[in-house]
Amino acid sequence: MAASLAAHKVAPNAISLSSIVFALGAGAALGSTSLIGSPWTRLAWVLAAGLIQLRLLANMLDGMVAQVSGRSSPIGELYNELPDRVSDSAILIGAGYAIGGLPSLGYVAAIMALFVTYLRATGAALGAGQAFHGPMAKPHRMFVLTVACLFNGLAPIAWQPLEARTGIGLIGIGLGVIILGGVVTAYRRLRFVAVALRGTAA
């Protein structure tokens, strides 16, 4: 796929920006689940899952196309990082407004995603290296939401009793997992950076 895109002279930075389009679509599809009725709700869940994966695919292909085509840009890193921050926020906040979610959970999850990324970027800027530690790095966050979306879109309503009783469904639980996992991720990344800096100082 990367070779084909490179052969058609698709710019890597354009692929990076396309991830925002997919993420905004995913966020809108997630939020719409609380506004539309069946059977469209199920379609929105599945659509959101697909768009989340397309967002990840775009994130992977931009760098690969840049390497294959030899069209790396001096500002390519900006195009690689900034769309990710917008995409994470769009999807996580959209999930907060979905059926079974809570807006507050969506916003906190988005903040946590920004924070763990900030720790990674800070570690790299200080010379400690890139801290990609999980358990809630970007691919893991998107995996949790994809599974929740597919379950909500494909599983029978009878399999979702928690949402009927409490108003919090699998998507809300998923956001909670992302938040708690983000706390662990933040600790691991901060520890990695601190250990690396101590070693450099020694």
Is it the case that residue 163 has pLDDT exceeding 70? no
Identify the pLDDT of residue 162. 61
DSSP string, the chain: -HHHHHHTT--HHHHHHHHHHHHHHHHHHHHHTTTS-TTHHHHHHHHHHHHHHHHHHHHHHHHHHHHHHT---TTHHHHHHHHHHHHHHHHHHHHHTSTT--HHHHHHHHHHHHHHHHHHHHHHHTTS------SSSHHHHHHHHHHHHHHHHHS-GGG-HHHHHHS--HHHHHHHHHHHHHHHHHHHHHHHHHHHHHHHH-
Residues ≥6 apart with Cβ < 8 Å to 185: 116, 133, 134, 135, 136, 137
- Domains along the chain with CATH numbers: 2-201 (1.20.120.1760)
- Greater confidence (184 vs 128) lies with 184
Arithmetic mean of pLDDT, 169-190: 94
Percent of the chain with pLDDT over 90: 55
Q: Model confidence at 112, in pLDDT bands (50, 70, 90)?
A: very high
Q: Find the helix packing angle between 40-69 and 138-154, rounded to 10°.
A: 150
Q: How far is CA 168 from the centre of its chain?
A: 21
Average pLDDT score over the chain: 88
pLDDT 10s digits, 48-75: 999 999 999 999 998 888 888 777 777 7
Of 82, 60, 79, nearest to 139 by C-alpha is: 60
- Alpha-carbon distances, residue 78 vs 35, 61, 82 (angstroms): 35, 15, 6
Identify the pLDDT of residue 164. 52
Global confidence as pTM? 0.89
